[in-house]
Amino acid sequence: MPKSSAQRALVVGAGIAGLTTAWWLERAGWDVLVVEKAPSFRAGGYMIDFFGPGHEVARRMGLLPALERRRAPISSVTSVDARGRSRATISASAYSAVADGVISLLRGELAEVILADLRSPIRHGTTVSAVDDGLVTFSDGSADSFDLVVGADGVHSRVRELVFGSSFVRYLGHHTAAFSVQDPELSARIGYRYQMLTVPHRMIGCYAVRGGAMAALMLYRSDEQAVPEDPAAALRDRFGDLGWVAPELLSAVPQDIYYDEVSQVDLPTWHRGKVVLVGDACGAVSLFAGHGASLAMTGAFVLAEELAAGTDGAFERYQTRMKPAVAHTQEFGRRFIGWMAPSSTWRISLRDWAFRLSGLPVVRNLIRGSVAPDVDGVLHRAS
């Protein structure tokens, strides 16, 4: 695409999708500016399992060695009872047989690896307050015009709201929180094993991360979509009676907690004029589907590839390739709710039995069919 006098692209959001989009666009000759709402780069975050087509995109970007260096040495996934005793375990080898080449790492680490290889400027503490096709007004009052505006600002996308309206979020009936606590004793006790305690409609998961820290993930059913004003108090209220490590975690909830409703995003058209959406902004699949980061990188790659093939119709071709994969993964995510946040003790027992039998090839294949939606074909470009 832009070869001589570089065309200008604005990428809104320096997350997984935004950084990957900027990476590919700058290599295709675009002059890219990234704006990010957060005042500075946010490291850490929650643990993600990174695999599928995004893994292949990372390979094409030459990032796999850096990602491998950050791979968390998680050796197993164990379901525990309220006293921390093992109920059922799925080994890492059984898990990686289910999800080929999976790399477990913190979301912030994935972002950091992409960022380390990016040259485009990032303006932190900045968002957009108006988008009129290519003419953009920023939160500091300045305005500028661009040939391309990419909304990569996540599930609560401001670009989507400004350009497309705000009613495209499908609430999945749960809230989730993720945070880390510095507690070497607890971290050593849990170890590099993902352990989780599930009771109907509630789940706490945790695992040791390097440097004596513990990462926690909490998930619970809530009929109320809006997030509470005091997330730490809401978590104490919901999980205070759960036992195991809940009291220690709840007494140390930090300020910079990640807390959000669990939602998917579904809108009929991902582009308008010079504006296009990528990643969670147009196709959040939710933590239940577990493929969001992978799809965010894939979408960024496919968008850049289609733009490189010719701007005319590029957004439509991008959407045609990505949307079925996103819809397929979203559908899978909705089915997976019952596995991750079972609604009854009976369902919890069923899930634990699947864990116990995960060493058997037949069960592994069954789990594979249900936890790993087949979306690899999305990387194939019809010429």
Ligand X SMILES: Cc1cc2nc3c(=O)[nH]c(=O)nc-3n(C[C@H](O)[C@H](O)[C@H](O)COP(=O)(O)OP(=O)(O)OC[C@H]3O[C@@H](n4cnc5c(N)ncnc54)[C@H](O)[C@@H]3O)c2cc1C
13 binds ligand X (CB under 6 A): yes
134 neighbors 146 (Cβ within 8 angstroms):
yes
16 belongs to the binding site for ligand X (CB under 6 A): yes
**Site for ligand X, residues 275 to 294, rule: CB under 6 A:** 279-281, 287, 290-294
How many residues of this chain bind ligand X (CB under 6 A)?
Answer: 34
For the chain, what percentages of helix, strand and coil (3-state, to nearest 5) are there?
Answer: 40, 25, 35
- Candidates 35, 206, 216, 367: give the one binding ligand X (CB under 6 A): 35
Q: Cβ distance 173 to 288 under 8 Å?
A: no
Compare residues 121 and 310 and give the one whose CB is closer to ligand X: 121
The three-state secondary structure class of 120 is: coil
CB of 376 to ligand X, least distance (A): 14
Which region among 7-15, 187-195, 267-275, 321-329 touches ligand X (by CB under 6 A)? 7-15
Q: Restricting to residues 339-378, which ones interact with ligand X according to CB under 6 A?
A: none
Q: Shortest approach of ligand X to residue 132 CB, angstroms? A: 16
The angle formed by the CA atoms of residues 150, 372 and 73, to the nearest 5 degrees, is 90
Q: Which residue number, 13 or 44, has a Cβ lying nearer to ligand X?
A: 13
Residue (109 or 352) nearer to ligand X, CB: 109
Q: Which residues within the stretch 116-135 sit at the binding site for ligand X (CB under 6 A)?
A: 127
Distance CA 204, CA 195 (A): 8
Residue 198 to residues 304, 337, 346, Cα–Cα distance (Å): 41, 13, 12
Q: Which is nearer to ligand X, 290 or 342 (CB)?
A: 290
Instruction: Name the residue with tokens 């995960």.
Output: 358
Site for ligand X in 215-244 (CB under 6 A): 217
Alpha carbon distance 218, 137 (integer Å): 37
CB of 324 to ligand X, least distance (A): 18
Q: Does 12 bind ligand X (CB under 6 A)?
A: yes
| Subset of 100-119 contacting ligand X (CB under 6 A) | 107
Among 55, 87, 158, 271, binds ligand X (CB under 6 A): 158
Among 26, 109, 112, 153, binds ligand X (CB under 6 A): 153
18 forms part of the interface with ligand X (CB under 6 A):
yes
Q: In this structure, are residues 168 and 151 in contact, taking their beta carbons and an 8 Å threshold?
A: no
| Smallest separation (angstroms) from ligand X to the CB of 19 | 8
175 makes contact with ligand X (CB under 6 A): no
Q: Are 29 and 56 in contact (CB under 8 A)?
A: no
| 244 neighbors 189 (Cβ within 8 angstroms) | no
Q: Which region among 147-155, 199-207, 208-216, 361-369 touches ligand X (by CB under 6 A)? A: 147-155
Rounded to a whole number of angstroms, the minimum distance from the CB of residue 369 to ligand X is 18
Task: Please give the helix or strand (H or E) that residue 376 lies within, else none.
Answer: none
Specify the residue, 250 or 285, whose C-beta has the smaller distance to ligand X. Answer: 285
Closest CA to 320 of 279, 359, 273, 268: 268
Please give the Cα distance from 278 to 255 (Å, whole number): 29
Does the protein bind ligand X through residue 55 (CB under 6 A)? Answer: no
Residue closer to ligand X (CB basis): 25 or 293: 293
Cβ 383 to ligand X shortest distance, Å: 28
Of the candidates 7, 9, 11, 15, which one interacts with ligand X according to CB under 6 A? 15
Strands (DSSP E) contained in the chain are 8-12, 31-36, 47-50, 76-80, 86-91, 103-106, 122-124, 128-132, 135-138, 143-145, 148-151, 169-182, 194-199, 202-209, 213-221, 258-265, 271-272, 275-277
Binding interface with ligand X (CB under 6 A): 12-18, 35-38, 46, 48-50, 107, 127, 152-154, 158, 176, 178, 217, 279-281, 287, 290-294, 296
